[in-house]
Amino acid sequence: MSLRDATSASPATLTTTLAGRLRDAILRGDLEPGSKLVLDRIRVGYGVSLSPLREALCRLESEGLVEAEDQRGYRVSPVSADNLTEVIRLRVELEGMAVREAILHGDAAWEGRVVSALHQLSRCVHGARSAEEQEVWEARHRAFHAELISACRMPLLQQFCETLHDQSDRYRRIFLKDHAPDRDVPAEHAAIAGAMIERRADDAAKLLREHVERTGRNIQAALRGAA
Amino acid sequence: MSLRDATSASPATLTTTLAGRLRDAILRGDLEPGSKLVLDRIRVGYGVSLSPLREALCRLESEGLVEAEDQRGYRVSPVSADNLTEVIRLRVELEGMAVREAILHGDAAWEGRVVSALHQLSRCVHGARSAEEQEVWEARHRAFHAELISACRMPLLQQFCETLHDQSDRYRRIFLKDHAPDRDVPAEHAAIAGAMIERRADDAAKLLREHVERTGRNIQAALRGAA
DNA sequence: CCGGATGAAAATATCGATTATTTATAGATC
DNA sequence: GATCTATAAATAATCGATATTTTCATCCGG
């Protein structure tokens, strides 16, 4: 059971809705890494009470997007080159494993979902003009990567991958905010999807690894530039 | 930053204390897997209010020990053969990676901590007579395994490993409750520690893998017997 | 002029009560 | 006799207020 899925599956309790809004704000970079989250300010800002706010932050903490310290409140998780390196490293390793399992267990229905997700992703532009278009691309991009490993039959692994993917998305959106993509990302996605559907496990893992690591290197470069 | 460490590091907020007590109860098997956690009953049982209780459960949720569903409350995470298989599989993979990194980065101080943890573990008996002795062994056993990978310089990986280790401990304590250990576990621990300190990465990974998988198979057998 | 103690202000942690939702039960209808 | 519906009890979610802790500026002493 994914934490994010709960947003749509259940009747949406206030806590769940709020967690989603805050997560988006952090992933989008609206809330600066390392900045203190003053509960009372957020409370009035979002028009809720403290209880659901605390619970929402607690969920975000388990996703590694905020950090809490007893008696000292919450802050947005800081960013660092070391942390990014670890995130990329773990993504490569874990998504690699998940991809191989998905290839092993995926059926025709799964293939269809992958093709569909790829198609929907290809229908929106990456370097989008409006912020809204960007959000659509982000959502479909995330959905595509999730679909690739959806057949792996390892729910825990899927959750780890989702968490790591969110982390790396945050870095990309903060540090590659106005960089034009330097490579043919849609082609990379198509190549990965193709390899998976054709059951070429080694190729798929290799392509995904390169895809993730290339993005990682670009972010590292921008991060060094910012510091 | 580990979730468990916060227990000792900070002035111990009510939430943190409560989370620890509940975690122990679940790991110990006192709270049956799949059973519903009626908030109001726990509230009076532990003599706290709802807010800290909710927050404590939220932390346990991120460790995979309890599950929450909107508007339907919390329940202790159920157990299943499939879930155990995944936990063991991921432990082997992730702890294997962590062990190799620790061997790469560990210094003399780390070696000392490993030796010390092994020694302390060896000073208590596994098939302990009293429940209290058993708790001591559990704590030192967990500390030993944590120390092995403490030098890996990958905090996220460490946290994943800790979570998985807790999960697998729960299975072991529930299903191997009164099984006498069928093998020389202390010798296995000593062998792993030795290989790590002598920087034999492949040996260490292999020994740890066999250690984890053996336990896994024993639990699987007991689990099948219970069903 | 600097360092540590002190007190006021801000922020967090906790509580008790209220509101909304779900689940179980009993009754009515087909 | 089975299924659907309405009601009531149980339970979770939310709120507003209070108690506790931390932080920061200030003052005093060295």
The beta-carbon neighbor of B11 closest among A70, A83, A97 is: A70
Comparing CA positions, the residue from B119, B130, B219 lying closest to residue B169 is B219
Q: Which two tokens stand for residue B59?
A: 């932390």
Structure confidence at residue A128 (pLDDT): 64
CB-neighbour burial class of residue B202 (10 A; exposed 0-12, middle 13-18, buried 19+): exposed
pLDDT at A5: 44
Q: How many Å apart are B53 CA and D8 C1'?
A: 28
Per-residue pLDDT of B92-131, as tens digits, reads 999 999 999 999 999 999 999 999 999 999 998 776 678 8
A65 near A163, Cβ under 8 Å?
no
Substitution target in A54, A70, A164 with the highest count of B β-carbons within 10 Å is A70
Q: pLDDT tens, B67-97?
A: 998 888 899 999 999 999 999 999 999 999 9
B137, B126 contact by CB (below 8 A): yes
CA at B224, C1' at C20: how many angstroms apart? 43
Cα A22 to its chain centre, rounded Å, is 14
- Measured CA A144 to C1' C24 distance, in angstroms: 42
Q: What pLDDT, on a 0 to 100 scale, did the predictor assign at position A113?
A: 98
**pLDDT value, residue B5:** 43
Q: Do B155 and A11 touch (CB under 8 A)?
A: no
Q: Does the CB of B78 have a partner CB in chain A at under 8 Å?
A: no
Q: Strand C nucleotides below 7 A of a protein CB? A: 11-17, 21-23
Half-sphere exposure of B182 (CA within 13 A, CB side): 11
Q: Tell me the domains of chain B and their CATH numbers.
A: 6-76 (1.10.10.10), 81-226 (1.20.120.530)
B70 vs B212, more confident: B212
Rounded to the nearest angstrom, the minimum Cα separation between B142 and chain A is 21
Q: What is the per-residue pLDDT for B182?
A: 77
Q: In angstroms, what separates the C-alpha of B11 from chain A's closest C-alpha?
A: 7
Question: Is A61's CB within 8 Å of B61's CB?
Answer: no
Residues B153-176 have a mean pLDDT of 96
pLDDT of amino acid B192: 98
CA of A68 to C1' of D29 (A): 38
Using a CB-CB distance cutoff of 8 angstroms, which residues of chain B are in contact with residue A155?
83, 86
In this prediction, residues B148-168 reach a mean pLDDT of 97
- Cβ–Cβ < 8 Å for B27, B173: yes
Beta bridge partners of A67: A75
Nearest-nucleotide field for A41 (CA, C1'): C11
* Among chain A residues 142-201, those with CB within 7 Å of any atom of strand D: none
Q: For chain B, say whether A14 makes contact (Cβ under 8 Å).
A: no
Measured CA to CA, the distance from residue B189 to residue B207 in angstroms comes to 9
Nearest to A58 among B13, B59, B156 (CB): B59
The answer, for A10 touching chain B at a CB cutoff of 8 Å, is yes
Nucleotide nearest the Cα atom of B52 (by C1'): C14
Indicate if CB(B51) is under 7 A from strand D.
yes
Segment B55-59 shows an average pLDDT of 89
* Distance between the alpha carbon (CA) of B60 and the C1' atom of C28, Å: 45
| A77 φ/ψ sector (left φ>0, alpha ψ -120 to 50, else beta) | beta
Distance between CA atoms of residues A177 and A129, nearest Å? 12
pLDDT of residue A181: 76
Q: Is the CB of A21 under 7 A from strand D?
A: no
B66-69 β-sheet, strand order:
B36-37, B73-76, B66-69
Measuring from the CA of residue B69 to each C1' atom, give the nucleotide at the shortest distance: D12
pLDDT digits (tens, 9 = 90+) for A39-98: 888 988 888 888 888 889 988 999 999 998 887 889 999 999 999 999 999 999 999 999
CB distance B171 to B79 below 8 Å: yes
- Please name which of B161, B102, B43 lies closest in space to residue A156, comparing C-alpha atoms: B161
Res B8: pLDDT: 38
Instruction: List the beta bridge partners of residue B66.
Output: B76
Through-space separation of residue A52 CA and nucleotide D13 C1' in angstroms: 8
pLDDT digits (tens, 9 = 90+) for B33-51: 999 999 888 888 888 888 8
- How far apart, in whole angstroms, are the C-alpha atoms of residue B130 and residue B112? 30
Chain A residues whose CB is inside 8 A of the B60 CB are none
Q: A40, exposed or middle or buried, with CB in 10 Å at 0-12, 13-18, 19+?
A: exposed
Per-residue model confidence (pLDDT) at position B2: 39
Which pLDDT value is given to residue A125? 79
Structure tokens that stand for A95 in this block? 């998504």
Task: Give the CA diameter of chain A.
Answer: 53
Q: Please choose, from the candidates B48, B38, B45, the residue with its C-alpha nearest in 3D space to the C-alpha of residue B76.
A: B38
Question: β-strand A66-69 against A73-76: which pairing, if any?
Answer: antiparallel
State pLDDT tens for residues B132-149.
Answer: 898 999 999 999 999 999
CA–CA separation, A67 vs A63, rounded Å? Answer: 10
B120, HSE (Cβ side, Cα atoms, 13 Å): 17
Would you state the pLDDT for residue A106? 98
Q: Residue B150: is its pLDDT beyond 70? A: yes
Of A127, A94, A91, whose CA–CA distance to A213 is shortest?
Answer: A91
Q: Which residues of chain A have pLDDT under 50?
A: 1-3, 5-10
Say which amino acid occupies B130.
Answer: S
Q: What is the per-residue pLDDT for B128?
A: 64
Contact by Cβ (8 Å): B19, B60: yes
**Residue of chain A nearest B82, judged by CA positions:** A154
